[in-house]
Amino acid sequence: MSPRDDEARAILKANDRGGYTVPTAGLYPYQWNWDSVFAAIGFATHDMDRAWTEIETLLAGQWPNGMVPHILFHRVDPGYFPGPDIWRGVGPVPSSGISQPPIAATFVRWLLAMDPSHGDRARRLIPKLIDWHRWFMTWRNAGGAIFVTHPWETGRDNCPDWDAPLAAIEPAGINAYDRRDTTHVQAGERPRRWDYDRYLHLVKLGADCGWDDAHLQQVAPFRVADPTMTFTLLRATRDLRALAAGFGQPTSRLDRWIDEITRGAEQLWNAGAGTYDCVDLRTGTHTGVVTNASFLSWYAGIGGDRMLPQFDRIAGLTRHAVPSTDPAHPAYEPKRYWRGPVWAMMNMLIARGLSESGHPNRAEALRINTRDMIAENGFAEYFDPRDGAPAGGRNFTWTAAIWLAWASDSARRAEWAA
C-alpha cells in the first residue's frame, strides 16, 4: 500500500456530495459527466454500491431526447460560471445543454466484471445508455464520425484543434461576464478570454432555441468531428453490445452502430500527417494536431498500429507522457490545460487500449510513468509534461480515482481486465 492510496480515498470522500462527486471543490462544484464515470471506477475499488450510485445519479439527469448532459447543477453554487441560468437546460435536473465523451457503458461493463453481483443495476442502465448512444447517432453523426457543436463537449476544452474552427466565429451578442475559473486557478493554466467569448457565444445559440437539435443542426457554426467522441462512442457501443448480449437482449441495432462508427472513424485518419485528428466539417479540413485523443485508437480497437510511430516519437520528447498536444506542434503550451499538459485519466484509457492490442510493455511503462508523476506531485487536475509539476485544480477526483483503479501498485487492475 502506498500512502497515496489513503489520500486518494480521502479525496473521493471529500468530493462526495451525496450520490454524486464533484471533480474538485471550488473550480468545478457540480456533477460533470465523464468525471463522474471515472469517480465510479475509483469508488469501485472499495465501495461498489457507491460506484453504481454515481452512474445512476448521472443518468437520472438524462434528457427526454436521450442526451446525458455534461454538467448537472444539483445545487446552485455561485463560484462557477456559466451556471444553470446561462445554460437553461431542458432536462429533469438543471443542466448544461451539451454532452461529454460517452465512456459510461464501458465503465459499467468494467464494474460488472469487478463484481458480477450487481447485474440488476447494470441491466436497468442499459436502456438509458442505448438512448444516449442513439442521441449521438442521430444528432452528432457525420457519416459515422462523431462531431461536436461545442469544444466543451469533447472535454478537451482548449486544444489547438479548435483554433481554426473557433477563429471563424464572431462571438456576437454575449453579455458582459466575469470568469470564475481564473479566481481558482492561475490564468496561464486556463483557456484565454478569446476562447471563453466563443464558448459563451455557442452556449447562447443553444440556450436561445431551447436546445432544439433540429434547429441547431441547421445553424451551429461549430461542427468538428473528433477522435475523443468517435473513439469513446465506438468502444462504449461495443461494451454496450456485450452487456446487452449478456442479458439476452437484442443487439442488431448496436451492431449497426458499431459498423457505422468503425467505417466513419476512417474519416479522422489524416494520411498526410500520419495521425488521427479532428475534421472541421464546415471546411472539410483536418486540423493536423497529434493529441492524446489521437492515441485512443487502440481503446476503440481500430487502425491497428497506425499510431505507434507517433506514440513512440512523442513518448521520447518529455519526461511525462502523454502530453495532450504534440510538443513539436507550434501551439504546444505545457501548462495550459489541453494545449500540452498530461491528463492521468487519458493515460489510463490509452494504456488500456495498448494492453488490449498487443502492447503490454508500453501500457505498463505508461502506468509506471503516471504512477511516479502522481506519487511525486499529488492529485492534480493535470501535470506539466516536462517535470510533472501539478497544474489546474488540486485534490482532483479523476486523478484520485484512476490512481486507485489503475496507477497505484496496489490497484485491482486484473479484476476489470475481463
Residue 30, amino acid: Y
CB-wise, 38 or 311, nearer to ligand DGY?
A: 38
Q: How far is the CB of 81 from ligand DGY (least distance, A)?
A: 8
SS (H, E, C) 11-56: HHHHHECCCCECCECCCECCEEHHHHHHHHHHHCCCCHHHHHHHHH
Q: How far is the CB of 278 from ligand DGY (least distance, A)?
A: 18
- According to the binding rule CB under 6 A, does residue 181 interact with ligand DGY? yes
- According to the binding rule CB under 6 A, does residue 153 interact with ligand DGY? no
Q: How far is the CB of 180 from ligand DGY (least distance, A)?
A: 9
Residue 286, strand partner residues: 279
3-state secondary structure of 164: helix
Q: How far is the CB of 336 from ligand DGY (least distance, A)?
A: 12
From 16, 35, 157, 277, active-site residue = 157
Cβ count near 257 (within 10 Å): 23
CB-wise, 70 or 320, nearer to ligand DGY?
A: 70
CB-wise, 205 or 243, nearer to ligand DGY?
A: 205
- According to the binding rule CB under 6 A, does residue 157 interact with ligand DGY? yes
Q: Give catalytic status of residue 212 as yes or no.
A: no
- According to the binding rule CB under 6 A, does residue 147 interact with ligand DGY? no
Measured CA to CA, the distance from residue 209 to residue 414 in angstroms comes to: 47
Q: How far is the CB of 343 from ligand DGY (least distance, A)?
A: 12
Binding mask 107-146 for ligand DGY (x = CB under 6 A): ----------------------------------------
Q: How far is the CB of 240 from ligand DGY (least distance, A)?
A: 24
Q: How far is the CB of 365 from ligand DGY (least distance, A)?
A: 29
CB-wise, 157 or 239, nearer to ligand DGY?
A: 157
Measured CA to CA, the distance from residue 148 to residue 169 in angstroms comes to: 15
Q: What angle do CA 308, 311, 313 make, to 5 degrees?
A: 110
CB-wise, 116 or 188, nearer to ligand DGY?
A: 188
Binding mask 51-80 for ligand DGY (x = CB under 6 A): -------------------x----------
Rounded CA Rg of the chain: 20
CB-wise, 369 or 395, nearer to ligand DGY?
A: 395
Q: Alpha carbon of 191 to those of 57, 160, 365: distances in Å?
A: 29, 11, 31
CB-wise, 106 or 154, nearer to ligand DGY?
A: 154
SS (H, E, C) 191-254: CCHHHHHHHHHHHHHHHHCCCCHHHHHHHCCCCEECHHHHHHHHHHHHHHHHHHHHCCCCCHHH
CB-wise, 154 or 318, nearer to ligand DGY?
A: 154
Burial class (CB in 10 A: 0-12, 13-18, 19+), 247: exposed
Cβ count near 403 (within 10 Å): 29
How many residues lie near ligand DGY (CB under 6 A)? 4
* Chosen residue from 73, 139, 152, 276 binding ligand DGY by CB under 6 A: 152
Q: How far is the CB of 157 from ligand DGY (least distance, A)?
A: 5
From 35, 195, 277, 381, active-site residue = 381
Q: What angle do CA 226, 231, 232 make, to 5 degrees?
A: 105
- According to the binding rule CB under 6 A, does residue 189 interact with ligand DGY? no
Q: Give catalytic status of residue 56 as yes or no.
A: no
3-state secondary structure of 138: helix
State the DSSP code for 145: E
Is residue 137 a contact partner of residue 254, using CB atoms and an 8 Å limit? no
Measured CA to CA, the distance from residue 40 to residue 298 in angstroms comes to: 23
SS (H, E, C) 75-116: CCCCCCCCCHHHHCCCCCCCECCCCCCCCHHHHHHHHHHHCH
Among all residues, whose Cβ is closest to ligand DGY? 152
Sequence-separated (6 or more) residues with CB below 8 Å from residue 113: 415, 416, 417, 418
Note the residues at the interface with ligand DGY (CB under 6 A).
70, 152, 157, 181
Catalytic (active-site) positions? 157, 381
